[in-house]
Amino acid sequence: MQISLKAPSTLSRQKSACLVLPLTVEDLKALPGDATLNAAIERLVKRGDFSGKGAQTLMLPWCDALSAERVLLVGLGEADSVDAKSYDKAATAAFNALKTHKLSDAAVLINSRVLSSEAQISALARLAETGNYQYTASLSKKAEPGLKKLILLAAGNAAAKKALAQGQAIGQGINVARQLGNLPGNYCTPSFLAKEAKALGRKSDKLKVTVLDEKKMRELGMGSLLSVSAGSDEPAKLIVMEYQGGKKSAKPQVLVGKGITFDSGGISIKPGAKMDEMKYDMCGAASVMGAMNAVTALELSINVVGIIAASENLPSGRATKPGDVVTSMSGQTIEVLNTDAEGRLVLCDALTYSERFKPAAVIDIATLTGACVVALGRHASGLYSNDDTFAEKLLAAGERSGDRAWHMPLWDEYQSQLDSNFADIANIGGPEAGSVTAACFLSRFTKNLTWAHLDIAGTAWLSAPKGATGRPVGLLMQYLLDCAD
């Protein structure tokens, strides 16, 4: 999408298929348009058709004396109550209205009463991109025409241009994550993810992409990861994306994504109901891909490494069985009590592998446990960390981006649930605190790291309407932008 900045002038002269006016309740007492437009809005307000309440929209099919073909009124609510979340909601309503009317271009006025211009510009650019997303990869019909051109009526200074670039890149990164998540499992395999990573690497001379095959992983001792792919004909891949945007000596931020492209549960097979949604079990990997797309697009002045542990989890005569003991790259042995607790098995080897980059910090992202959905629902990702200061940075990034997380406990008292008589550690800790014990399992492999774990099982996709959300790309990118400042 073409998104540009244009200094606001007389609104009546702004040519566009639709002029979008986000208005607070206070604006209705001192309207920003010309006399003809103001008179029309005043009549609508008096008649009760528009009140300025949050996310309210009203399309005017024409307005005399305006160069724009239409005017879309968008309510922001009381000026003092407008925050990033309510502004996003209003902007989303505006873009939905534009989509309903099948408009290809629009101009949006930045409202001086709320937030900062930069915050509004970034939000509008991000939401314009995500609002344009349509899934058609496995459909016979083509995508419906969407918004192609967006003008943001604001001064085009350096800060505004930076906000525009960031918002658009994050929106595109979210869409990358959504698209990968939505692809069916027979389209999006570990090999497909590796191909997508290599394609991204060809777009940037700052990005080096390496793909480790099963032979190399076996040589490295990744018995835990390989135990998950044992039952599938699709070979596992460890995908490593090294972005060098900062000084060579600067320690990188490392993102590790769980990439189970389909999870049947293995021998501990899942119930059939909603098993189709297990194509979303690679949304952690998808979020890493989305973030790396945005990082390269913005050419951030930091070093970032993205690692994706990609595998299928299927039953066969070669599949890992409950009770089997496998040896991880770290040398720790693991009793696999349940083959459906496979995400932690691929992540632990990927986390051990991440140590070779001497990272400043490591974040793993995974659709890890149904227990996290029970605990937090669809609103917040579960956040676990071995460093409270690091956790606070991620929580703050989640608040600023609107992609929120909640700090969960990682207490030593839970570790005993992972005791095993036959290995150093069991891969499940029983029915109590399932999300916590999963994080405790991963913590056994991160003792040399500043580490955080994001359990996105509740936030990565929705069941109704079904589709990937692209979370937590927003949180990850806000954190990385903070690191680059």
Q: Is 46 a catalytic residue?
A: no
Rounded to an integer, what distance in angstroms lies between the CA atom of residue 435 and that of residue 427?
A: 12
Q: Which of 334, 317, 316 is nearest to 326 (CA)?
A: 334
SS3 content of the chain, % helix, strand, coil (to 5): 40, 20, 40
Residues 194, 211: contact at Cβ < 8 Å?
yes
> For 359-408, where are the alpha helices, taking DSSP H only?
370-376, 388-401
Q: Is 344 a catalytic residue?
A: yes
> For 81-231, where are the alpha helices, taking DSSP H only?
84-100, 117-131, 158-182, 190-203, 214-220, 223-229
Burial grade of 282 (CB within 10 A; 0-12, 13-18, 19 or more): buried
Query: CA 477, 478, 479, 481: dihedral to nearest 10 degrees?
Result: 80
Three-state DSSP class for 348?
helix
Rounded to an integer, what distance in angstroms lies between the CA atom of residue 173 and that of residue 110?
A: 24
Signed CA dihedral, 464, 468, 474, 480: sign only: positive
Q: What is the bridge-based pairing of β-strands 461-463 and 466-468?
A: antiparallel
Contact residues for 360 (Cβ-Cβ < 8 A; gap 6+): 250, 251, 252, 253, 450, 483
Catalytic residue among 195, 198, 206, 270: 270
Residues 75, 23: contact at Cβ < 8 Å?
yes
Q: Which of 98, 116, 119, 96 is nearest to 107 (CA)?
A: 98
- Residue 148's Cβ-side half-sphere holds a number of Cα atoms within 13 Å equal to 8
> What DSSP designation does 271 have?
P
| Number of other residues whose CB lies within 10 A of the CB of residue 105 | 17
Q: Where are the beta strands (DSSP E) in 264-408?
A: 303-313, 324-327, 333-336, 361-366, 381-385, 405-407
Rounded to an integer, what distance in angstroms lies between the CA atom of residue 125 and that of residue 107?
A: 12
Catalytic residue among 237, 344, 404, 471: 344
Residues with a known catalytic role = 270, 344
